[in-house]
Amino acid sequence: MAITTNKHKDNNYILSILISQDGLSFCTATAGESKKIIAYEHKKINSSASPITVLESLQPEVQKLQQTYQLSKVIVVYANTLYTLVPNDFFDENKLSQYLKFNIKILETDYITYDDIPYLATKNVFIPLTNINNYLFDTFGSFTFTHSVSLLVNSVQQQLLETTTQGFIQVYPTHFDLSIFSDKKLILANSFSYYTPEDFIYYLLFSLEQLNIKPTKIKLYLGGDINIGTATYNYIETYIKHVYFFTKEENINNNLIDNENILINKDYHTNHLILKSLFCE
């Protein structure tokens, strides 16, 4: 269900759009340091939807938001499995396709780009949706886009602890992103498609086994499409001793929510990525 207010043409606003294989999320906030969220909507799409179908679902929502708000900045977060992390020491901007070709089928029309993750001395090479980028460029003139895994690993930087192994999972209905840090160093960043809760826990435990990490020795943080009581969560809690949900950082506090009817505060971990994107420079 869409939650919006009346016309807001007197002020400048930021629009963040999260595009995943399963849906589109839109979050509108006031610009400036004291951000207030005034609208949030999630629109489900079929996980097998083509880029054309995704665009057709996106266009009316963007048009509606344009008519309602004076948008000074647009941020797009692509949440897909079309990425790989490359250490700076091995990175060559002229060889982007070579980093992806062994795991991903690359089409001639694909546009390959990358995010910089300075504190890890790493680049995230990924494929956004070209038709979406073209449409947004034609609509807004300029906008910022990034990959969800870049946003995730950047956002957890302040949570990393010395001599501690920590895992961070972002859950989507058909895949999940898993990042594992040990002694503040990234040792795994991968995504896994799954169909059942049993698939999910198998990939998680297999990853830990390959890294020689005991399930009782890792602190695991969950975000996205997962809640207490779901079958997937119950499996995780059965095997992993220390399980937590993402919680708000200091710069994302209770004052961020301007409308009590927007249920972002209640289930922060579900929407934490799109909220964090509002603070990207």
Q: Which residues pair with 13 in a beta bridge?
A: 30, 71
Domain stop point among 55, 78, 101 = 78
Give the pLDDT of residue 35.
Answer: 78
Instruction: Mark whether 136 and 254 lie in a shared domain.
Output: yes
Enumerate the β-bridge partners of residue 122: 87, 117
Q: Are residues 179 and 122 in the same domain?
A: yes
265 with 192, same domain: the answer is yes
Q: Which domain holds residue 142?
A: 83-278
The reply to whether 197 falls in a domain is yes
Q: Which amino acid belongs to residue 77?
A: V
Handedness of CA 154, 90, 208, 81 (dihedral sign): positive
pLDDT of residue 103: 85
Helix (H) or strand (E) holding 220: strand 218-224
112 and 47 fall within a common domain: no
Number of structural domains the chain divides into: 2
- DSSP percent split of the chain into helix, strand, coil, nearest 5: 35, 35, 35
Taking only Cα atoms into account, the Rg of the chain, rounded to an integer number of angstroms, comes to 19
Asked whether residue 253 falls in the same domain as residue 183, the answer is: yes
- Based on DSSP, count helices (H) and strands (E) in the chain, helices before strands: 7, 13
Task: List phi, psi (to 5°) of 234.
Answer: -60, -40
Same domain flag for 100 and 56: no
* Residue 161 and residue 235 in one domain: yes
Task: For residue 29, give the CATH number of its domain.
Answer: 3.30.420.40
Boundary-marking domain end, from 78, 93, 112: 78
Q: What are phi and psi of 127, to 5 degrees?
A: -115, 110
Are residues 125 and 49 part of one domain? Answer: no
Are 127 and 258 in the same domain?
A: yes
User: Residue 256 has what pLDDT?
Assistant: 54
Last residue of a domain, which of 43, 78, 113? 78
Residue 118 and residue 36 in one domain = no
Question: What pLDDT is stored for residue 129 in this prediction?
Answer: 93
Strand partners, 222: 169, 245
Give, for all 281 residues of the chain, the pLDDT tens digit: 333 334 455 568 999 999 998 899 999 988 877 778 888 889 998 877 788 999 999 999 999 999 999 999 999 999 999 999 999 999 999 999 999 998 888 988 899 999 999 999 999 999 999 999 999 999 998 899 999 999 999 989 888 887 889 999 999 999 999 999 999 999 999 999 999 999 999 999 999 999 999 999 999 999 999 999 999 999 999 999 999 999 876 555 544 555 444 545 567 888 889 988 987 75
Residue 179 and residue 141 share a domain: yes
> Do the domain assignments include residue 2?
no
Q: What is the pLDDT of residue 263?
A: 47
240: nearest Cα among 223, 259, 257, 216: 216
- If asked whether residues 238 and 117 sit together in one domain, one would say yes
For residue 163, what is the domain's CATH number?
A: 3.30.420.260
CB contact at 8 A, 123 and 115: yes
pLDDT at 9: 55
Q: Which residues contact 223 (CB under 8 A, 6 or more apart)?
A: 152, 168, 169, 170, 171, 245, 246, 269, 270, 272, 273
